[in-house]
Structure 1
């Protein structure tokens, strides 16, 4: 059965009041799981890895998955502009209006190429600078996280139908533990500023993870904080940010304000940010 776009026809299809955030996340989830088939085909064969002009890695999985995602989004949500990582790498870094979709077809390409399974497919919806719906799918792990009005997670194989709502688990962040925080940090992008930041906090445990799985660990209450001071792009973070916010968390920029999206003047680059599971613990 074809998916129907859950957008009201009037007065505005893109207002916060008329968007069905959970239904949008459901659409994104179906598309991500479908695109994962192409990703896993490359994962099991030669990825033809190469370097983009910015020296970051790209492989066939990124491009094949993005083509599927863009085709499906154009068919189901034709009125929503899309900014996708590989299209942006080829010069398309513009979107019109304050409502648009961000796509990272394979977040964690280094993890993909190292075959550790810690890579994700990310699709997020931005409305007036905020991530209001998003999905993070880890096809090698068979795990899917959805964020809309609420946050849920479930197990689903690439190309399989989404499980019914009764088979999904609603997720929430946890209060900051009195005995100390669990921090999750990038497996591939550590830096001195991150180390200095964590050194000033009561960190009880530290874990490493790739891609947007770090946002999901905080959203599920498995970790409390995820700092990132190295460069990221908006398509890297939008989906995981949406899941975390739906679970009750917050992502703050250097000025301790919620991370904003649609920064065209900065070429859609993020500044430093910290994802918190317990907003009061952040001082926000």
Structure 2
């Protein structure tokens, strides 16, 4: 299963790169929530939807680009959670910091995750408590690692407000890195960062795959009350703010 999903993520990445490299036209429009969507988002979406439907025809799919109604979703126990192109703004800026995200959710928990960054030819994957990083032909197991001073990763689009400053002050000495998409989860998972701080809300498809990878690598992923993020279907597809940590007692 994991190998098949990794192959599918790479195939979706190829579709994205076809647009990114100018081999297919780039069109951008604004969705109802004012976020951008491009022809690359949709190309990756169609690749993943078709592939997952063939791979597991009985497991429903929730994609950012095809949001299923609450009346249908409310009965789901197991489902695929997909962001075909996480970091569309980074795609448009052409900084390479965008990913393909595919997660399998079971009873509210992300049990399989794949994050693929096509510009960097880097793929992260996780299943059954094990996580890996693949860069070109090299595949290694990854695990969280405490860092001193801690490295804190935040969204590239996140400005440093009072709430963030207050949290950072509790750490004393630290180093901050800004990066786009679910690569922030992966930095914690592979031991390149100690904390990923998110204070604002996110959509569940932004976090499911990265959550699975960070969890399998030994990280904790919890909201600011210390509760684990749960993906059991809800009317809203929003998560509250959260902290990804390489340690167990961070919130």
Give the TM-score normalised by the residue count of structure 1. 0.82
The size of the alignment, in residue pairs, is: 245
Matched residue of 2:193: which SS? coil
**1:130-180 deviation line (CA, Å, top 9, x unaligned):** 111100000011000001120001124xxxxxx5xxx410000013x3x42
Q: Does 1:186 align with 2:155?
A: yes
CA contact (8 A) 2:124 2:213 kept: yes
5+ long unaligned stretches in structure 2 = none
**1:13-70 deviation line (CA, Å, top 9, x unaligned):** xxxxxxxxxxx33222111001111100111224211110000111001111101100
CA contact (8 A) 1:31 1:69 kept: yes
Q: Using the TM superposition, give the Cα deviation of residue 190 of structure 1 relative to its aligned residue in structure 2, in angstroms.
A: 3.0
4+ residue stretches of structure 1 with deviation over 4 A?
91-94
**1:197-256 deviation line (CA, Å, top 9, x unaligned):** 223223421111100000000000000000111221100000000000000001111210
From 3, 7, 12, give the equivalent of 1:35.
12
CA contact (8 A) 1:135 1:239 kept: yes
Structure 2 match to 1:76? 55
Quick one: distance in 2 between partners of 1:28 and 1:197? Answer: 37
* Pairs within 5 Å for 1:263-282: 263-265=233-235, 267-280=236-249, 282=250
Matched residue of 2:119: which SS? coil
Structure 2 match to 1:154? 134
Give the TM-score normalised by the residue count of structure 2. 0.93
* Pairs within 5 Å for 1:71-110: 71-88=50-67, 92=69, 94-95=72-73, 96-110=75-89
Structure 2 match to 1:171? 142
Structure 1 match to 2:221? 251
Quick one: distance in 1 between partners of 2:160 and 2:45? Answer: 30
5+ long unaligned stretches in structure 1 = 1-23, 157-162
RMSD of the alignment, in Å?
Answer: 1.5
Quick one: distance in 1 between partners of 2:112 and 2:173? Answer: 30
CA contact (8 A) 1:181 1:202 kept: no
Alpha carbons of 1:279 and 1:25: their partners in 2 closer, same or farther (altered >3 Å)?
farther
* Pairs within 5 Å for 1:174-253: 174-175=145-146, 177=147, 179-190=148-159, 192=161, 193-253=163-223
CA contact (8 A) 1:84 1:102 kept: yes
Q: Does 1:128 align with 2:78?
A: no
Q: Using the TM superposition, give the Cα deviation of residue 189 of structure 1 relative to its aligned residue in structure 2, in angstroms.
A: 2.8
CA contact (8 A) 1:248 1:277 kept: yes
Structure 1 window deviating more from structure 2 (182-191 vs 221-230): it is 182-191
Quick one: distance in 2 between partners of 1:147 and 1:269? Answer: 23
From the two aligned structures, give the one with the greater strand fraction: 2
Alpha carbons of 1:68 and 1:92: their partners in 2 closer, same or farther (altered >3 Å)?
farther
